[in-house]
């Protein structure tokens, strides 16, 4: 089964402009947050809006930052920084040595392949809630920036434009039903006003697609890390165009364009069980007019009935889509980010249904 992403273009316009983003490490951001801990929510969030992270933020690290933040705007900016860093490597300080006596990466990789092929069939019938926070680059700010660049004789293309911050455009809750090895439609209506794009396949097809493609590309053991009491091996892979089966579909009104671009990413594997605990992919467009897509999914254990199962807990989906607004070589890029959390897992029963949080109030 092929996994896919669908990008639906929209025209929500919210005013905002930013300076060029400054790249910092996780440790450097730590230092800034300590030094600026007395700033107001507005002032600290304004500073964070002009930063980008060169390293990935671990979930526990983000939680610590948010706990000590001065207000909701700062918490939101910290989450966006962490989400955007999902495709960067972990800091060297958070990497670990290989477990004592470990010698056979091929055997561990084979266990991960076996896990991926069986993951969707090993899950019970279940229900959950998918909560999605939607963010996107404000289109009017994007167009204003591009027009200013077009007036500059030195402008050479969209890569010369500064990265603009993303604005919150809505939140949605949707029921997820997983039955007989497949995610199935529910009676829940599509969330109103949800912008950007949708993803699918976190419950199995994404693992099957990426791991299957990686066997046709290149894959190697890159590093180790610790997750609780587990030793986790991080494999890096690359899948060339022509051997890729991850579908990217662009829906612009009645027009739909789809492709299977090459991509690369990471697969994090529990060395003891072969379970996949994290997977990421970043597409490699052939042309700058094609969208670029990044998906990162974190998996963890939940108890259903009397057994523990590995299920998706958190997904970051980031798409950057070049928008030709008639300025020649200057082509701005609109970005969409979805922060997805899966909660309220329970076994599926014939009479069961999930009550929407708004309905429950």
pLDDT value of position 188: 54
Q: Do 224 and 302 reside in the same domain of the chain?
A: yes
Q: Do 88 and 210 reside in the same domain of the chain?
A: no
Please give the helix or strand (H or E) that residue 241 lies within, else none.
none
Cα separation of the two ends of the chain? 38
Within 10 Å of residue 142's Cβ, how many Cβ atoms?
22
Q: Do 224 and 309 reside in the same domain of the chain?
A: yes
- Long-range (24+ apart) CB contacts under 8 A made by 223-226 are 223/89, 223/90, 223/95, 224/95, 224/96, 224/97, 224/98, 224/99, 225/90, 225/94, 225/95, 225/96, 225/268, 226/96
Q: Do 145 and 36 reside in the same domain of the chain?
A: no
pLDDT value of position 120: 81
pLDDT tens readout for residues 12-46: 222 232 345 789 999 999 999 999 989 999 999 99
Q: Do 32 and 125 reside in the same domain of the chain?
A: no
Q: Do 199 and 299 reside in the same domain of the chain?
A: yes
Strands 333-347 and 307-322: antiparallel
On whether residue 225 sits in a domain, the answer given is: yes
Q: Do 185 and 60 reside in the same domain of the chain?
A: no
pLDDT value of position 253: 65
Phi-psi domain of 202 (left: phi exceeds 0; alpha: psi -120 through 50; beta: other): alpha
pLDDT value of position 257: 74
For the chain, which residues score pLDDT lower than 70?
1-20, 151-165, 185-199, 251-255, 328-330, 349-361
pLDDT tens readout for residues 159-209: 344 556 678 888 989 888 888 888 886 655 544 444 445 667 788 788 999
Q: Do 225 and 302 reside in the same domain of the chain?
A: yes
Q: Which pTM was predicted? A: 0.84
Cα dihedral across residues 329, 294, 126, 346: positive or negative:
negative
Q: Do 266 and 189 reside in the same domain of the chain?
A: yes
Q: Do 28 and 158 reside in the same domain of the chain?
A: no
On whether residue 2 sits in a domain, the answer given is: no
Q: Do 182 and 243 reside in the same domain of the chain?
A: yes
Task: Give me the number of domains the chain comprises.
Answer: 2
Q: What range defines the domain where residue 38 resides?
A: 22-92
On whether residue 26 sits in a domain, the answer given is: yes
* Per-residue tokens: 145: 């920036």
On whether residue 63 sits in a domain, the answer given is: yes
Instruction: Return the bridge partners of 251, or none.
Output: 8, 256
Q: Strand, helix or coil at 124?
A: coil
On whether residue 245 sits in a domain, the answer given is: yes
Q: What order of strands is seen across the sheet that includes strand 333-347?
A: 95-96, 218-227, 230-239, 262-270, 276-284, 292-304, 307-322, 333-347, 126-136, 167-179, 182-184
Distance CA 10, CA 105 (A): 45
On whether residue 5 sits in a domain, the answer given is: no
Q: Do 41 and 120 reside in the same domain of the chain?
A: no
On whether residue 346 sits in a domain, the answer given is: yes
On whether residue 10 sits in a domain, the answer given is: no
């Amino acid at each position: 089964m092929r996994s896919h992403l669908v990008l639906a273009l929209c025209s929500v316009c919210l005013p905002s402009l930013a300076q060029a983003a400054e790249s910092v490490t996780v440790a450097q951001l730590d230092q800034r947050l300590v030094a600026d801990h007395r700033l107001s929510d507005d002032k600290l969030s304004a500073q964070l809006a002009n930063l980008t992270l060169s390293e990935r933020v671990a979930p526990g690290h983000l939680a610590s930052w948010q706990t000590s933040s001065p207000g909701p705007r700062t918490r939101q900016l910290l989450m966006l920084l962490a989400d955007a860093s999902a495709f960067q490597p972990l800091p060297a300080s958070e990497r670990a040595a290989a477990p004592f006596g470990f010698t056979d990466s091929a055997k561990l990789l084979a266990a991960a392949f076996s896990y991926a092929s069986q993951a969707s069939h090993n899950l019970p019938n279940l229900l959950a809630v998918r909560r999605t926070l939607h963010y996107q680059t404000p289109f009017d700010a994007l167009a204003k920036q591009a027009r200013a660049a077009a007036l500059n004789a030195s402008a050479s293309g969209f890569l010369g434009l500064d990265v603009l911050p993303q604005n919150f455009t809505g939140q949605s809750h949707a029921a997820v039903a997983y039955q007989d090895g497949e995610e199935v439609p529910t009676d829940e209506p599509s969330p109103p006003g949800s912008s950007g794009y949708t993803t699918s396949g976190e419950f199995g097809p994404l693992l099957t697609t990426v791991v299957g493609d990686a066997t046709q590309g290149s894959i190697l053991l890159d590093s180790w890390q610790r997750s609780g009491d587990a030793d986790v091996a991080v494999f890096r892979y690359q899948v060339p165009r022509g051997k890729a089966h991850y579908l990217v579909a662009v829906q612009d009104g009645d027009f739909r364009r789809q492709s299977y671009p090459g991509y690369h990413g990471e697969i994090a594997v529990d060395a003891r069980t072969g379970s996949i605990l994290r997977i990421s992919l970043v597409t490699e467009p052939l042309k700058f007019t094609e969208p670029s897509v990044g998906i990162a999914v974190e998996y963890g254990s939940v108890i259903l009935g009397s057994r523990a199962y590995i299920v998706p807990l958190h997904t970051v989906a980031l798409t950057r889509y070049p928008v030709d607004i008639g300025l020649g070589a200057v082509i701005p890029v609109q970005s969409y980010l979805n922060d997805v959390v899966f909660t309220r897992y329970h076994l599926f029963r014939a009479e069961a249904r999930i009550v929407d949080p708004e309905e429950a109030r």
